[in-house]
A = this chain, B = another copy of it.
Amino acid sequence: MQKKARSYHHGDLKTAMIDAALQLVREKGPRGFTLNEASRTAGVSVSAPYNHFKDKAALLIEIVLLGNRTLETELRAAADIVAPPTEKLLAVYLAYVSFADRHPDLFAVMFQSGINKTHYPEIQASSAKAFGVAAVLALQIESSPTSAWQLALAIWTMAHGFATLSVEGAIAGVGFPEAKGSAEALARKLLYAGRSESEART
């Protein structure tokens, strides 16, 4: 793990910049990240990164894509347990919330760095892939595509809302004791709803 004594050429500046960026975000929040400081951390001049990223935004986008890939991997792992689809979907929900908890740096860049995702179709595609994990499970629970879509979206929005508000301290700030444990109860309540509705209609 010893650093190679580099001269002039860095060797792998691209990933070094991404690592430095994530470290800075961890230390100072998504707003405190600075290209210049990341360059300094990587031990390189401020203009060097422009050989690897068109922009500051381009670096952030790279991180968002990395985050979406990681998220999808973790959601997929959660969905691969041996259990009925309802429990799998619950696991996916919990994995989403847990992702925000365990990768606050990635999550912050993904959702608080202020990049306008509408302008970057690649980001939309990669986050849609992650959403697909939930959608597939929902289709195994709900009969009609419409209600499956609704169930997947409900799980997704609840997970994302909980994760976001939790990261911001909004949930802790509301003063109820066991915010942590209630994440699961939330999803369970919703999943029971999905069942009771579809079964009632059958």
Contact = CB atoms under 8 A, between A and B. Distances in A.
A186 B169 contact: no
Interface string A102-119: 000000000111111110
Contacts of A192: 193, 196-197
B189 A150 contact: yes
Question: Which range holds the interface residue count of chain A?
Answer: 35 or more
A78 to B, nearest CB: 18
Max chain B Cβ within 10 angstroms of own Cβ: one of A115, A158, A162, A194: A158
Interface in A156-195: 156-162, 164-165, 168-171, 173-176, 179, 182, 185-186, 189-194
DSSP majority for the A interface? Answer: helix
B161 A157 contact: yes
Interface string A134-156: 01000000000000011101101
Nearest to A125: B173
A29 interface: yes
B154 A186 contact: yes
Contact of A193 (B149, B157, B190): B190
A180 to B, nearest CB: 12
A150 B183 CA distance: 8
23 contacts: A29-B116, A31-B115, A111-B164, A112-B112, A124-B173, A128-B173, A128-B175, A149-B182, A150-B182, A150-B186, A154-B158, A154-B186, A154-B189, A154-B190, A156-B165, A157-B158, A157-B161, A161-B161, A189-B194, A189-B197, A190-B190, A190-B193, A193-B193
